Structure 1
Amino acid sequence: MTLFWISTVVLVVVAIVLLALTLNSKKANNDDQLRDELNKAFYKDRLTELEEETNEGLVENQQDLIDDLKQSLLDDIPNQAETKKTSLSPMTILVPSVVLVVVMTYGLYMHFGGAGKVQDWQEVSGRLPELSKRLMGESAEPMTEDEMQDLTLALRTRLHYQPDDSTGWLLLGRIALANRDVTTATDAMEKAYRLEPNDADVKLGYAQALMMSQDELEQNQARGLLNSLLKEEYVDLRVLSLLAFDAFERQDYPAAVRYWSVMQRMIGPDDSRYEMLTRSIENAQAKMGEPIVEGKSVAVTITVSSDVSLPQDAALIVSVHPADGSPMPVAAARYPLGTFPRTVVLDDNNSMMQGRKLSSLDGLIVRARIDSDGNVATRDGDWFGESQPAALGDTVELVIDQQY
């Protein structure tokens, strides 16, 4: 910021110097002297012409004409009193001009130049180390949404001047992943991967970003990266988790069970995540035709209004909520769009919250949404429907006929 103000002062000084040089270089023209010299030249030329006309016999009274010419020349000589004129000193013009240049330059910048925003930007850029530590969990206080935006701005500023900083690109990609910004996450992770193609964290981050894409080629690339990470001496649990959920989404249930089982062996039965993995394994086994975990279930028959336009590659998301209408689902499932009407069944295997199962609900409502872009965090333009309150064991019916 200091360099900026120094630059503005230099430019203003240059402008003032140019103005002063212009004023000093102005030459005063002596109009009376120029007119006198012109009259003399005209007088001599006229005398020559009269001489020639006299020789040719065209003029009889040459002397009278010469006297008239002399009188005309005398009449054109200005009075000395009239030639006096007042002239302004260059400083009289320079001083107010300098004041005007300075006032207009800084006044207009303060009004239109966004000095406050530039100062805020500089302050945010200086907080990059502090915000990075907050993001990495080195502070007890969670980051606010404004602080996340500040961190993103500071990171982009740093990466503009240091485009070869792979750690910065990785951090920017992680922030974009948290915000479900697929495009930014993929671009940032790709740049980090190009800089550090053998770094395990970079590979994992790039694979996470590619997994969020709807492009099958990018998803295959993500699977290739994850499989290469399986060959490392140390395997991150997130690698197995991504492979398991990807296999489950592709309905490759045996592979999903295999990955989740490996995760269980790695964390042990004392880990709080062990029970959640057990439920995931049981859910996959149920999809393979094996008996599901005993517990109550809810069958949902879903129809779609004739006004609804079903986009290609959309998905159906069904969620079960307490009868009070709480937005947090107790159980949820995602299905390929398929055809309608259709019936789906949700049970304890679809529970979303640890320690609270679908079978524990006294009453419930069911919501269904057609996810058009593959991003569960965005709903603009999606069609949805909601059932009337029901009880476990009932067959619930709902119609998808509303749009966000």
Structure 2
Amino acid sequence: MSWSEFYLVVSGLITFVVLVVWFPWLFRKNHAKRDSLSNTQIVKQRLSELEREVREGLISEHDKRQAVDELKLALVDESAFVAQKKGNAVLPLIVGGVIALGAGAVVYSQVNQMDRVAKITDAVEALPELSRQLTSGNANNLTQQDVASLALAIRQRLRSEPNDDTGWMYFGRLMLSVGQEVQAIEAIDKAVELAPSNTANRITLAQALMTTGDVNNLERAQRLLQGLLAENPQNDNLALMMAVVSAQLGDLDNTKRFFAQVRNKLPADSDMFKRLSARIIELEQRSIVAVQSEELNGELKNESSTFETSVETSNDDTTGFSVTVDLSVQAKESAPSTGFLIVFAQDLNSDNRMPAAVVKLPIPAFPATISLTTENAMMPQYTLSSLTDVVITARLSLDGNVAVAQGEWQGSVESPVKQSQLSSVNITINKEL
């Protein structure tokens, strides 16, 4: 609705209210006039009848004068009553009308939300220009107010056109540019659902999933990229993305395979080339260590059953931590009491954010002690025994997802990994996310 239509509707409503209030009073006024004219005619008719009765000798002249005086007094009394009634009605009507209009104006000014309506209108009007900047890759030039206006305008458009996959994609990219990863993934998912054959939408979804660092999202991104590469195996951009996500997941085979496809097209001094090369070396070393460890364990098991028992009690399965988790005073008051306690360990000496071990359980009574060992690894080739130093995090999660969500609380501690030992660490949950 345009502003001119809005003002026209408001004017019509005000006119209607005025007519509703004024019409009964106007009708009564006209009715009073008609009554006054009718009474005057009755008096004149009665005077004529009195003249006739005198001529016919039915009454005396004295009786006639007395009757005329009575009629005049009655007419004067009625006129005074009507005048008094009229004078008493106008003032309350005017005062009541003024009060009603004033009250209506005050109430309307409090509840009309005109500021928000104006913001929405301005945002919708600025949508074409802001969308052009977003699609041209100039999102960094957008101010915080521009981002808020663009998000508001896109949501307004999607409210009226919920099946617009392009609108959902714009909204997802916008949320991704400001770090709102959860909302971004939801919006881009919606765009992919509406246009599943759109390759660009699926690529953007994979990119959004990769930015979270969450294992589940990374695995989903890898599956998406596998499908895209099956359709276009020579696409170097997809191959590079596949190498990066595989490196984050610790998938050595896929990392080497897709990095080999693009390594000759990357500058040797580029940050991406160096990081992928270093990651492949790291994964290969871990693989060698894992193989050697398995061979050594096999040899030791063949010596004797007694020595085998000794090895089993001191092998990699016992490498880990006994984590005692407690809450700070503020966390006891504000942290969620329902949901999940997630305890996980990450490599302190690399950028790989994939947990080497994770334990998730319903929020217990605190303090609580949790065992975090190699048995809790997410991938068999990436465990606590392959790390030297870790950061251990305890998080109170509302949904049980390792990815950070608003309103969750956590605490962390750094510790070295002692091979074949169960180290004790204490964590206090004291930080709201």
Q: TM-score, normalised by structure 2?
A: 0.58
One-letter code of the match for 1:261? A
1:303-326 C-alpha deviation (Å, 9 max, x unpaired) = 411548995776423435xxxxxx
Aligned to 1:156: 155
SS at match of 2:393: strand
Structure 1 pair 383–272 and aligned structure 2 pair: CA distance change class (3 A): closer
2:358 to 306, 323, 337: 337
One-letter code of the match for 1:334? P
Structure 1 pair 302–229 and aligned structure 2 pair: CA distance change class (3 A): same
- Does the 8 Å contact 2:325/2:394 carry over to 1? no
Within-5 A mapping of 1:142-291: 142-178=141-177, 181=180, 184-208=183-207, 223-230=222-229, 231-232=231-232, 235=235, 237=237, 239-248=238-247, 251-269=250-268, 271-289=270-288
State which drifts further: 245-254 or 197-206.
245-254
Aligned to 1:381: 409
SS at match of 1:340: strand
Aligned to 1:105: 104
SS at match of 1:401: strand
Aligned to 1:50: none
Number of matched residues?
324
SS at match of 2:268: coil
Aligned to 1:82: 77
1:7 to 3, 6, 9: 9
Once the two structures are TM-superposed, the CA of residue 289 in structure 1 deviates from its matched residue by: 2.0
Structure 1 pair 246–175 and aligned structure 2 pair: CA distance change class (3 A): same
Distance in 2 separating the partners of 1:265 and 1:13 = 78
| Unaligned ranges ≥5, structure 2 | 43-69, 291-318, 328-336, 360-370, 375-383, 417-422
- Does the 8 Å contact 2:189/2:205 carry over to 1? yes
SS at match of 2:355: strand
SS at match of 1:111: helix
- Does the 8 Å contact 1:166/1:192 carry over to 2? yes
Within-5 A mapping of 1:14-93: 14-26=16-28, 27-28=31-32, 79-84=74-79, 85-86=82-83, 87-88=86-87
Once the two structures are TM-superposed, the CA of residue 381 in structure 1 deviates from its matched residue by: 1.9
Once the two structures are TM-superposed, the CA of residue 150 in structure 1 deviates from its matched residue by: 2.7
- Does the 8 Å contact 2:175/2:183 carry over to 1? yes
Aligned to 1:402: 428
Once the two structures are TM-superposed, the CA of residue 375 in structure 1 deviates from its matched residue by: 1.5
SS at match of 1:174: helix
Structure 1 pair 366–186 and aligned structure 2 pair: CA distance change class (3 A): closer
Once the two structures are TM-superposed, the CA of residue 210 in structure 1 deviates from its matched residue by: 6.2
| Superposed CA RMSD | 4.7
One-letter code of the match for 2:17? A
Structure 1 pair 140–77 and aligned structure 2 pair: CA distance change class (3 A): closer
Structure 1 pair 270–232 and aligned structure 2 pair: CA distance change class (3 A): same
Distance in 2 separating the partners of 1:307 and 1:142 = 44
- Does the 8 Å contact 1:173/1:205 carry over to 2? no
One-letter code of the match for 1:171? Y
Distance in 1 separating the partners of 2:223 and 2:325 = 42
Aligned to 2:53: none
Aligned to 1:369: 393
1:82-110 C-alpha deviation (Å, 9 max, x unpaired) = 21221259987776666555544343222
- Does the 8 Å contact 2:321/2:424 carry over to 1? yes
SS at match of 1:119: helix
Distance in 1 separating the partners of 2:148 and 2:22 = 48
Once the two structures are TM-superposed, the CA of residue 77 in structure 1 deviates from its matched residue by: 11
SS at match of 1:337: strand
- Does the 8 Å contact 2:342/2:394 carry over to 1? no
Distance in 2 separating the partners of 1:383 and 1:260 = 36
- Does the 8 Å contact 2:218/2:245 carry over to 1? no
Once the two structures are TM-superposed, the CA of residue 154 in structure 1 deviates from its matched residue by: 1.5
Once the two structures are TM-superposed, the CA of residue 285 in structure 1 deviates from its matched residue by: 2.0
Distance in 1 separating the partners of 2:219 and 2:352 = 29
Aligned to 1:317: 346
Aligned to 2:324: 305
Higher helix share: 2
SS at match of 1:127: helix
Distance in 1 separating the partners of 2:279 and 2:96 = 79
Distance in 1 separating the partners of 2:177 and 2:227 = 24
Once the two structures are TM-superposed, the CA of residue 336 in structure 1 deviates from its matched residue by: 2.7
Structure 1 pair 272–181 and aligned structure 2 pair: CA distance change class (3 A): closer
Q: TM-score, normalised by structure 1?
A: 0.62
Once the two structures are TM-superposed, the CA of residue 234 in structure 1 deviates from its matched residue by: 6.3
Distance in 1 separating the partners of 2:427 and 2:168 = 42
Distance in 2 separating the partners of 1:137 and 1:290 = 48
Distance in 1 separating the partners of 2:174 and 2:88 = 65
SS at match of 2:197: coil
| Unaligned ranges ≥5, structure 1 | 38-74, 292-299, 321-328, 348-364, 391-396
State which drifts further: 89-98 or 135-144.
89-98
**Once the two structures are aligned, what percentage of the paired residues are identical?**
20
SS at match of 2:372: coil
Once the two structures are TM-superposed, the CA of residue 202 in structure 1 deviates from its matched residue by: 0.8
Structure 1 pair 196–178 and aligned structure 2 pair: CA distance change class (3 A): same
Structure 1 pair 171–369 and aligned structure 2 pair: CA distance change class (3 A): same
Structure 1 pair 290–264 and aligned structure 2 pair: CA distance change class (3 A): farther
Distance in 2 separating the partners of 1:287 and 1:173 = 37
1:307-354 C-alpha deviation (Å, 9 max, x unpaired) = 48995776423435xxxxxxxx9886632326436756668xxxxxxx
